[in-house]
Amino acid sequence: MNDRPKLSHASTDGFPMQGDRLTVGGIPLDRLAARVGQTPFYAYDRALLSQRVTELRTHLPPSISLHYAMKANPMPAVVDHMARIVDGIDVASGRELRVALDAGMDPDEISFAGPGKQAGELSQAIAAGVLINVESPTELATIARLAHESGRTARIAIRVNPDFELKSSGMRMGGGPKQFGIDAESLAELLPTIVHPLVFEGFHIFSGSQNLKAESIIDAQTKALDLAATLATHAPGPVRMLNIGGGFGIPYFPGEGRFDLAAVGAHLHALVERARTLLPEAELVVELGRYLVGEAGVYVSRVVDRKVSRGQVFLVTDGGLHHHLSASGNFGQVIRKNYPVAIGTRGEHGEREIASVVGPLCTPLDLLADRMELARADIGDLVVVFQSGAYGLTASPGHFLSHPPAVEVLV
């Protein structure tokens, strides 16, 4: 019998209870832990990854290309899986580029963004034939030189720092002075200088991340198309690709609603129509990281001590901020809030209590749950942090205090 956890959070829906065990991909958590061979670990559910892509495809116009921004979760098995179900992969380093190519992604469908790309990384990208999203005039000159020296052409898109901001975004990455992209107002001068061996393909306008407001995303997408249409008049060739960014958010905290995918999808149908007139040759790309993988993963650690300090219960686990910085509240959050957390080896009907879940690091920042209502847990129980499929292990200071690394599995 499956009884749903009543954790008042949609994130747990993909991980139903089986008796008093939470399941991942149908496998009870204690059995999965034994199969992994250690705690702590991250487990990602491939069915949930596929389900999310299917959901996106039902709402987005068929002509929109869906790209995976793999920095959200670069585990090679995850990237392999995603490579088969999305239209392209966005990489942010030479090493990510190798993983995307290993996954079998067609180089035509790989793009490479990020400030400070090194000459070695740019040479890799040119040799692989992937699209380089150019972040500065200096980078543009370096790409031209490297392409010339190697006797190859280089596919480029200009990453534009737009003259608008993405409203109510968790992390703003465009508008105002930014280290990302080239200021829109300087492009009239720069665009005509793009000549062979550079091959101009289009624009990349990414303005922010973790946005739960559909209206803000719709607004940013509309402005991105208008800006691209204006810039196109200065471009050295037709715009064949317009990456309008992503930024779709997922709910982490109590009170946060779901992103209104249907509203954004409906707007994109209209946008695609407008783009047909404004930029008739352009492929429209949406690039998503967190929204594709964030809800498909859990982080699992084991209770190694249970102590009470002045009336407050502390569950000390073998995992913590060194594996999962964002759940500890230290990855860009202004006010610390609890991620959804549950005891994965206790049913919903037993005793409950208010407890804090902490890690083994000698810092009060190492906190996975601050005075949360949880099933009463003991040494040996498994603690689950939901919404952990994006910006988890590789976004954490794994070497801090020299504890062993976490393992990752794709179930």
- For ligand PLP, the binding residues (CB under 6 A) are 69, 71-72, 90, 113, 206, 209-210, 246-247, 287-291, 390
CA–CA distance, 306 with 308 (Å, rounded to integer): 7
Q: Which is nearer to ligand PLP, 93 or 210 (CB)?
A: 210
Task: Give me the least distance between CB of 22 and ligand PLP, in Å please.
Answer: 25
Task: Give me the least distance between CB of 121 and ligand PLP, in Å please.
Answer: 15
Q: How many residues does the chain have?
A: 411
| CB 368, CB 380: distance < 8 Å | no
Q: Which is nearer to ligand PLP, 29 or 72 (CB)?
A: 72
The tokens for 325 are 């910085």
CA–CA distance, 127 with 134 (Å, rounded to integer): 16
Q: Which is nearer to ligand PLP, 96 or 366 (CB)?
A: 96
The tokens for 61 are 């116009």
Task: Give me the least distance between CB of 247 and ligand PLP, in Å please.
Answer: 6
| CB 210, CB 172: distance < 8 Å | no
Q: Which is nearer to ligand PLP, 69 or 83 (CB)?
A: 69
Q: What is the CA radius of gyration of the chain?
A: 23
Q: Which is nearer to ligand PLP, 99 or 377 (CB)?
A: 99
Task: Give me the least distance between CB of 225 and ligand PLP, in Å please.
Answer: 17
Span between the terminal Cα atoms of the chain, in Å:
22
Task: Give me the least distance between CB of 148 and ligand PLP, in Å please.
Answer: 27
φ/ψ (deg, to 5) at 327: -70, -25
CA–CA distance, 14 with 190 (Å, rounded to integer): 48
Q: Which is nearer to ligand PLP, 212 or 390 (CB)?
A: 390
Residue nearest to ligand PLP (CB): 289
The tokens for 401 are 């205090």
Task: Give me the least distance between CB of 401 and ligand PLP, in Å please.
Answer: 27
Task: Give me the least distance between CB of 113 and ligand PLP, in Å please.
Answer: 4
Q: Which is nearer to ligand PLP, 135 or 318 (CB)?
A: 135
Dihedral sign from CA coordinates of 11, 17, 22, 24? negative
The tokens for 310 are 């002045």
φ/ψ (deg, to 5) at 140: -60, -45
